[in-house]
Amino acid sequence: MDIKRYTKMAYDDFEDMVFGHCPNPLSTGFDLEIGAGYTSAEVNYAPRPSSGKSKETLVAEYEKITTDVLQRMVQVGFPSVVLETEHVLPMTMNPEWGAEISHAQKAIMEEYYDEYGIKCALRTTLADIRGGRETLDLRGDHYDILMESFDQVASSGSDMLSIESLGGKGAFDNAILHNDIPGILFSIGILGTLDVEYLWSEISSIAKKHNVIAAGDTDCSQANTAMFIAGGLLDRKLAHTMAIVARAISAPRSLAAYEAGAVGPGKDCGYENTIIKAIAGVPISQEGKASTCAHSDVMGNLVMQCCDLWSNESVEYHGEFGGTSVQCWGETLSYDCSMLNTAIEAGYTKVFRDVLMASDRYRDPQSFILAFDNAYRIGEAIVKDGDDIYLRSKNAAIKACELVERGSRGQLELSRFEKASLTKAIKALHSMTDEKDAFIDEQMEIFKASMPEFRPENYGY
Amino acid sequence: MIDINPQRTLVRYNVRIEQEMTPEEVAEGLFPADEAIREVARAVFNGDEDEVVESLKNAIDKGKDPLSLINNALMVGMEVVSTLYDDNMLYLPDVIISAQAMIEGIEFCKEQSGEEHEYKGKIISYVVEGDIHDIGKKIVTVLLRAKGYEVIDLGKDVPVEEVISAVKREKPIMVTGTALMTTTMSAFSDVNSRLLDSDINVPVVCGGGAVNQDFVSQYDLGLYCEEAADVPKIADAILKGFDIESLRKEFHKH
């Protein structure tokens, strides 16, 4: 396995980080460039449940979706667009289904490109089908089907490959419900990272073989779970100062995909992407105010600050007053991108970025640590011990807590509960060992004893 | 980089409504007066399993009946936790940690007594077929147990047939199912049809990522639940005699 660790930052200064530009831009699909000076909408959608009856009904559904999006882009005059097809389970479980859908979508995109010259590309995000009812089996038969599915979509028209991988998820769920900081760090920073490395070494090879883009992973299954449970300001499910620990550790975890050969753009729901962009210089997709069709968050404008693609997360395909849902959300996203691109053209990129960031900077501890200056500082903490997957995760968590603590002495208001939770988290982090192997041994024993379904062999142990 | 004073663009409502007293201070005022019972209730509140067992031993040594301590001490402590959670003074992990300490205490009391504890009612929980995301089910299961219900946890990725068999065998007061994805939640429809075919009118409480009220309302037995904390309240309402229609009136929020 060829893993290239990041031990320095892609940018010398956080002030250089902006939307629409990145140090390592890429070209893909039909004339589309990402991170090369403009932003594009990335439209994401889910088929209606009724369309899942057969391969034929699903293919027809995606043909309608693709045509609808491209038709609306052309009708309103937008120059570029990315379509993201997130597989539902049968599409990955039956590799030929996913392949046929990719082929059908790409054929329609080619027609629009030929006729109108619209720059476009297709990202396919496979479902992490590695499951098992009693025990999660990450490296068994389903892994082979998953890779076969990647191979088939890559050979059938997909331009970019992605996944939201599940490594460490079971351990994380237990840890987050018990405010177990070492458990959170173990599940995301160690188990998640090891699984991402394992997956992406092979996905990157498949992408290379078919001359497509190995795009990236996201810690949706863990850090976004924490964000989702934490909820809004009035929810009492999880302290938002605890959710920042999961988010900070998600950055080195998702970074592992790039260390194993991915090149971006990072997936939309990876809120950790600003940290990753600071470290790896790869283009990123993000979602925020235009993804309220899928979920709420507390950083709707801020997370747009350094995006290269701007996404709506996911919307079920159905009718709205303004057209189909994908047409409505595609148009909304594209108007947002038009605004960003106008700021770039007018020379106001940094001013616009700062307004986006400042509007949500103090909304929540989660947005505070992801403001680009603070995200950059977390990145620095990660690369400081970039070769050690444990220490870099621990550094990231400690830095996030320090930033919030310092921020709370200024404009960042915290409730008493958030402060108490932050104090507990800092105490727990500082009481942890600096030795990776000792930490892993200890946590392996804890999870083997407390979770009968936990399988160290999923992670090479 | 610009920086602003957010006072005119943002209200942190959680900070604004914060209460003066700490949860520990409020709890002290709610624990029962009897010192032996109070010690057990406080141990549950603290979520310390060892402390719970130790306090139960002390109470039994002082002549308390082990089985009666379940309802009169352990559940009382948990009630304080639930009250403070409902009053926005505690977080979900606090409830879960306390609930597990309480469940440990119940097991200890049952061992000491040698008799069976009578639960408020029996409930089946599961995650739909094709879905392995079970954090929502875990939360619901713990909250129901914390309120004194016996939960038959079928696990994740559960085939419809298995749910139907369990309902016929266990005769629960309700079923709770969770689904994350739009493609898997159609399994609720199958459960609904199969139960109706067997003349079983048990409410099927549905929740999870992609599930919404409109979808669940399509099914005769379906009851949508947005908040995990509402599930025990639904169970309490069923014990009071609420039928599906009245449950929907009470708990459907949209």
pLDDT digits (tens, 9 = 90+) for A363-422: 999 999 999 999 999 999 999 999 999 999 999 999 999 999 999 999 999 998 899 999
Nearest CA in chain B to A166: B133
Query: What letter would DSSP give residue A46?
Result: B
- Same domain for B155 and B192? yes
Helices (H), chain B: 13-16, 23-30, 35-46, 49-61, 66-69, 75-86, 92-113, 135-146, 160-170, 187-197, 213-217, 230-239, 244-251
User: Which residues of chain A lie closer than 8 angstroms to B133, CB-CB?
Assistant: 221
Cβ atoms of B239 and B247 closer than 8 Å: no
Q: Which domain holds residue A199?
A: 14-459
Is there a contact between A355 and B2 if contact means CB atoms under 8 Å apart?
Answer: yes
Helices (H) and strands (E) in chain A, counts: 17, 11
User: Which residues of chain A lie closer than 8 angstroms to B5, CB-CB?
Assistant: 411
Specify the pLDDT at position A6. Answer: 98
Nearest CA in chain B to A317: B182
- Same domain for B102 and B155? no
Select the residue from B84, B87, B132 to test the A interface by mutation, using most A Cβ atoms within 10 A: B132
Pairing type for strands A323-324 and A319-320 reads antiparallel
Cβ atoms of A83 and A69 closer than 8 Å: yes
HEC assignment per residue over B4-65: CCHHHCCCCHHHHCCCCCCHHHHHHHHCCCCHHHHHHHHHHHHCCHHHHHHHHHHHHHCCCC
Is there a contact between A354 and B1 if contact means CB atoms under 8 Å apart?
Answer: yes
Phi, psi (deg, nearest 5) at residue A183 = -65, -40
Residue type, A38: Y
Indicate which CATH number applies to the domain containing B46. 1.10.1240.10
pLDDT digits (tens, 9 = 90+) for A257-289: 999 999 999 999 999 999 999 999 999 999 999
Name the residue among A131, A177, A363 with its Cβ closest to that of B132.
A131
Assigned domain for A1 exists: no
- Same domain for B41 and B130? no
Select the residue from A62, A404, A417, A450 to test the B interface by mutation, using most B Cβ atoms within 10 A: A417
Prediction pTM value: 0.94
Nearest CA in chain B to A240: B91
A229 and chain B in contact, CB less than 8 A: yes
In this prediction, residues A127-150 reach a mean pLDDT of: 90
B212 CA: distance to closest CA in chain A (Å) = 12
- Same domain for B173 and B242? yes
User: Which residues of chain B lie closer than 8 angstroms to A413, CB-CB?
Assistant: 12, 15
Query: What letter would DSSP give residue A271?
Result: T
Long-range Cβ pairs for the range A318-327 (8 Å, 24+): A318/A48, A323/A68, A323/A72, A324/A64, A324/A65, A324/A68, A325/A45, A325/A293, A326/A43, A326/A45, A326/A65, A326/A68, A326/A69, A326/A72, A327/A68, A327/A69, A327/A71, A327/A72
- Same domain for B66 and B99? yes
Last residue of a domain, one of B64, B84, B113: B113
Mean pLDDT of chain B: 91
pLDDT digits (tens, 9 = 90+) for B141-160: 999 998 899 999 999 989 99
* pLDDT score of B10 more than 90: yes
CA A121 to chain centre: 18
Assigned domain for B223 exists: yes
- Same domain for B81 and B134? no
Q: Which domain holds residue B142?
A: 122-251
Assigned domain for B3 exists: no
Burial of A279 (0-12, 13-18, 19+ CB in 10 A): buried
- Same domain for B128 and B211? yes
Cβ atoms of A340 and A352 closer than 8 Å: yes
Assigned domain for A6 exists: no
CB within 8 A of A443, min separation 6: which ones?
A182, A183, A186, A190
Is there a contact between A358 and B18 if contact means CB atoms under 8 Å apart?
Answer: no
Is there a contact between B183 and A89 if contact means CB atoms under 8 Å apart?
Answer: yes
Distance CA B167, CA B179 (A): 19
**Counted domains in chain A:** 1
Distance CA A244, CA A143 (A): 31
Indicate which CATH number applies to the domain containing A130. 3.20.20
Assigned domain for B149 exists: yes
Distance CA A327, CA A335 (A): 12
**Counted domains in chain B:** 2
Assigned domain for B8 exists: no
Distance CA A390, CA A387 (A): 9
- Same domain for B106 and B126? no
Q: Is B128 helix (H, G, I), strand (E, B) or coil?
A: strand
Assigned domain for B10 exists: no
Q: Sign of torsion, CA A387 A393 A395 A400?
A: positive
Tell me what percent of the residues of chain A surpass a pLDDT of 90.
Answer: 94
Last residue of a domain, one of B113, B140, B172: B113
pLDDT digits (tens, 9 = 90+) for B198-210: 999 999 999 887 7
Assigned domain for A2 exists: no
Is there a contact between A238 and B93 if contact means CB atoms under 8 Å apart?
Answer: yes
Is there a contact between B155 and A133 if contact means CB atoms under 8 Å apart?
Answer: yes
Cβ atoms of A206 and A155 closer than 8 Å: no
Is there a contact between A49 and B185 if contact means CB atoms under 8 Å apart?
Answer: yes
B136 CA: distance to closest CA in chain A (Å) = 9
User: Which residues of chain A lie closer than 8 angstroms to B91, CB-CB?
Assistant: 236-239, 417, 421
Tell me what percent of the residues of chain B surpass a pLDDT of 90.
Answer: 71
Helices (H), A117-168: 141-155
